[in-house]
A and B are shown apart, each in its own frame.
Chain A
Amino acid sequence: MDSEVTPVHTEITLVVNGTEHRLRVDTRASLLDTLREDLGLTGSKKGCDHGQCGACTVLLDGRRANACLALAVAHDGAEVVTVEGLARDGRLSPLQEAFIEQDGFQCGYCTPGQLCSATAVLDEADRGWPSAVTGDLSADPVLDDDEIRERMSGNLCRCGAYMGIVRAVREAARKTETEEARA
C-alpha cells in the first residue's frame, strides 16, 4: 500500500503573469494549490475545489479555466494569468476599475475569479464566440445584459453582487470597445 501513497514529484515550468517558474510538483497537486502554496500567489481563491464555484478561475494559455480542476503536472510549459497579473504597471484594468465603481463585490472572495472570468468574456465576445443565449450564431455577439449574465454564471457570488458585476462587465466592455475604435 505504501508504494501507492508515496508522493511522486515531477519538474514542470509555468509562466505565471509573465514570470517563468521552474517547479517540482506533487503529481496530485492542482494548479490552484501550486499557485497559492508554492508560488505564494494567493489571489486565486479556493471556494469549492470541485470546479463548481469559479473562485479559482485563471487564464490558462489564454482561456479561462478552473485552476482547482487542473493538475499542475498536466500543464508543463503553460502560460497562466491570475488576478495578480490583470493590472499593468500598477494601473488597474478597465474591468478592475469598473468592479470598484459598480461595487461588483462585497466580501471579495469570489472577485479574483469573477475578474479573470470577465476578462475572458470580453475576449471571447471579441472573437465572436456565441453563448447559450446568443440568438444569431453567425453574427458577432453583442454583450448585452443577458449575454453577460449567461457568460458570468460559472462564477458564484454568495454576497449577491451580481447586479454590480453585470454593470461592471457592461461598462468595461463599452470602454474596451471605445478604446479599440479609437485605436
Chain B
Amino acid sequence: MTDRLESREKVTGAARYAYEYPLENPAYAAAVQSTIAKGEIAEVHADAALRIPGVLAVLSCENAPHLHDAGDAELALFQSRTVAYRGQFVAAVVAETLDIAREAARHVRVDYVSEPFDVRLSADDPRLYKPDKVNPVFPADTEQGDPEEAFTNSAVRVDATYTTPAEHNNPMEPHTTAAQWNDDGTLTLYDSTQGSSPTQETIAQVFGLDRTHVRVIAPHVGGGFGSKGTPRPNVVLAAMAAGAVGRPVKFAVPRQQMFATTGYRTPTIQRFRLGADADGTLNAIVHEVFEQSSTVTEFAEQTATPTRVVYRAANRRTAHRLARLDVPTPSWMRAPGETPGMFAQESAMDELAFAAGVDPVELRIRNDTDTEPESGLPFSSRNLVACLREGADRFGWEHRDPAPGVRWEGRKLVGMGVAASTYPAYMRPNKATARAEEDGTFTVRIAAADIGTGARTALTLIAAEALKADADRVTVEIGDSALPQATVAGGSAGTASWGTAVVRACESLRGKMNGSVPPGGLEASADTAAELEGRDAYARHAFGAQFSEVEVDADTGEVRVRRMLGVFAAGRIINPKTARSQFIGGMTMGIGMALMEESVMDPRFGDYVNRDLAQYHVPACADVRDIDAAWVEEADPHLNPMGSKGIGEIGIVGAAASVANAVHHATGVRVRDLPITPARLLPLL
C-alpha cells in the first residue's frame, strides 16, 4: 500500500505539467478552426490579425513550412487547402500573450469553397466497407461453424441492436505542448503525452529530423485515457509556430477545440445475436459492428474483438464495417473495442438470461471456457468464474429477486445488474538501465509515462524487488525521451512492458555487482525485444465481473447508481493502493458512459455541438456514491517476471452494461442506446 511517489508535488502544486515550464521569452499560440465540414480553403486573410500589436505570425496553408509524412495524415498540419471536417485546424496565430493570440485568431478570416458533406453513421450506408484490419492488427471479420443456421435452430434467441454514442476522453489537462527550437537545430517539447519516446519518433519524422534531435519531456501528465497516446495536431502546431517566430511557443488546446482535434471514441451500431439451448448454453454468437472514421485516416475500432474471447460457442461470427465520414478523426479512448463491444455483448447476455430464465451470473458461468474460443489457445490464466462468484457473494446477489420492475422504494424503482469484463494482457519491447552507486542507492531509467496510473510508484516497487533493495533507495526516472526508449502508456501494457525491462536491467546489474559496487558506480541495461519474440502460445487476458445497484426515479427517469462493485482477475497486483484507484476510476468512467456521456453530432454543420464540460457531462462527485474494487489472487507464470496483467482499462469494460442491466432489473425497460438519460428512459417507464 504505497502512496504515489509524486504525491507531495501534486498536492502542493509543485508538479509541473507541459504548459508550466519556465521558458525564456515564450510566445503563445491560438488556433483557428474550420467553419465548414468539407471543401477547400480559397484564401486566408491574415492581414487584420497581423495588424494587431503583439501579433508575431499567422500560419496557415498559405505559408506553412513543408512537413514530412509520418504515417498519420492528421499531423500534416496546414499542408493542403482541403478541409476534411468542421473544427479542423486551418490557421494559427502566434503572439506575445495568450490574450492577444486569442483575440487575433478571431480576426483571421478564411474563405472556403464548401462541398456537400455527410456526418451521419448508419448501418445501411452503401459506403460501409470491411477494413483490412481493426485496431491495432486484428482481422476485421472472423467466422467459425455455421452461425446463421445455429442461431436459427436455437431454442432461445436474442437478436438486438445496441448503439453507443461518440464519447470524448476529456482528460482534465488539455492537450498541451511547449516547443522550443535550440541553437543547434534540435527541438525540445514539453508535452502532455502518454509516450515520450513514440512522440519523439513521430515528431522527428514530421520535421525531418533525426530521432535524437527531438527531446520530449513529460514527467507529469494530466490524464489521457488514450487521447494522448499518439501526438495530435497540437504538437505539430506548437513546434511549427516556435520555428516561425524563433522563440519558444506554448499551445494548450482550448477545451472546446479538443472535441474536433484530439480524438474521441467512435459511435457504434452493433447487432448482437445469441442462440442458446433452453438452459442458456450458447450455440451461436454473431456480433456485427458499424462504426466510423474520418476521411483523413482510417481508425477502425476493434469493437467485436472481446466477443472472440469471452464465451464458448461452436458457431460464431464477428464483423466490422466502417464508414469514412466527414467527421473528426476518432481514436483510442479507454479500452477501445472492449468498452463499446462488451456493452453490447453483456447487455445481450442479460437479455438471454431473462429469455432463458437463467440467473445472469449462472448464465455466464455456464458458458465459461478453458480455451480462447476462436484461437483454441489455452488461457495463461482465466478467472472470470471466480470473479463472478466472489462478486456475487460480496454484493449480496443471492437476495436478488429475478423479476424486473417490481421493487419500489417510495417512488424509486430499484434493481441489480451484472456484467463481465475482459481486457488483453499485452506486452511490448522496451529498454531500461539500472545504476548502482557506492552509497547503496539505485537509479533506474526508462522513458515510461505516468499519466495518473501510478506507474512511477509501481516501477519503483518492481525495481526494488528485483534489486532486493528498500524502495526508498531506488529512484526511477521516467517521462523523458532522453531516457531508454519505451512504449506508450496504452493498451494497459505499461507496467507489464516497462516493468519487464526494469526487472531485466536490475537483474543484470545485480549480476555485475556481485555484492559490491566499485567507485564510480555500476550500470546495466536491458532490451526485452528478444525475450518477447519467443513467448509460449497462450491467450493472455484479464477478466472481471461488475455489479451495480441502481435506483430509478419513476417520475423523472433519473438513474442513480447506489453502489457498484468490480472484482477483477488481473494477475499480481503490484501496488494495491493505486491499483484500486485505477479500477474505481475506470468504473467511474463507466457510470459516465452508462448515464451521461454523449457527443451529439449536428448534421446541419457537421460537428459535435456539446463541446465543453457544461454540455458534455462526465461524472461529478455527487454521481459516485459507493464504488469498490477487489481482486482475486491470480498466479500466472506465463505473463512477465512480475506476473501482472494491465489494469488501466478493464475497470470501464462491462461497467456500462452492468448499470444498464440494473436499470432493466429495476424498471423492466431495456435501454439499448446509451446513455440512459431521463429523456430516453422516462417515456418508456
Contact = CB atoms under 8 A, between A and B. Distances in A.
Given A49-B254, A100-B3, A108 B10 contact: yes
Interface string A1-23: 11001110000000000000000
B23 to A, nearest CB: 11
A68 to B, nearest CB: 10
Nearest to A155: B621
Contacts of A110: 172, 222
Contacts of A1: 48, 51, 107
Contact of B11 (A41, A42, A92, A106): A92
Contact of B581 (A145, A156, A161): A161
A31 interface: no
A66 interface: no
Interface string B612-642: 1110001111111101000000000000000
Interface stretch (B78-86, B135-143, B417-425, B451-459): B451-459
Nearest to A50: B612
B14 interface: yes
Interface residues of A, number: 64
Given A52-B614, A106-B582, A166 B621 contact: yes
B585 A43 contact: no
B585 A45 contact: no
Interface in A40-90: 40-50, 52-53, 55, 82-84, 86-87
Contact of A83 (B12, B223, B581, B618): B12
Contacts, number: 198
A49 B257 CA distance: 12
Nearest to A92: B11
B4 interface: yes
Nearest to A53: B613
B621 A47 contact: no
- Most chain-A Cβ atoms within 10 A of its Cβ — which of B104, B256, B584, B621? B621
Contacts of A36: 19-20
A109 B453 contact: no
Contacts of B225: 158
A164 B173 CA distance: 20
A180 interface: no
B586 interface: yes
A156 B52 contact: no
Contacts of B613: 47-48, 50, 52-53, 156
A165 B627 CA distance: 13
A45 B51 CA distance: 32
A103 B575 CA distance: 12
A163 B627 contact: yes
A173 interface: no
B53 interface: yes
A156 B584 contact: no
A155 B54 CA distance: 34
Nearest to A33: B98
Contacts of B48: 1
Contacts of A40: 22
A96 B582 CA distance: 20
Contact of B172 (A29, A83, A149, A158): A158
Contacts of B452: 105-109, 159
Given A42-B19, A47-B174, A161-B581, A115 B52 contact: no
A28 B98 CA distance: 10
B222 to A, nearest CB: 3
A33 B8 CA distance: 24
A179 interface: no
Contacts of A41: 13
A160 interface: yes
Contacts of B580: 103
A37 interface: yes
Contacts of B4: 100, 103, 105
B402 to A, nearest CB: 30
Contacts of A100: 3-4, 7-8, 11
Contact of A109 (B104, B222, B621): B222
28 contacts: A5-B103, A5-B104, A37-B97, A42-B16, A42-B19, A43-B12, A45-B17, A47-B255, A50-B256, A86-B11, A103-B3, A103-B578, A103-B581, A107-B172, A107-B173, A107-B220, A107-B221, A108-B9, A108-B222, A109-B171, A152-B621, A155-B621, A158-B169, A159-B172, A159-B452, A159-B585, A160-B587, A160-B624
Interface of B: 3-4, 6-17, 19-20, 22, 48, 51-54, 97-100, 103-104, 107, 169-174, 220-223, 225, 252, 254-256, 451-454, 577-578, 580-582, 584-589, 612-614, 618-625, 627
8 cross-chain pairs, A with B, having the tightest CB-CB distances, nearest first = A43-B13, A107-B452, A109-B222, A160-B588, A160-B585, A108-B10, A106-B452, A42-B20
Given A47-B255, A50-B612, 4 more contacts: A40-B22, A49-B254, A96-B11, A107-B220
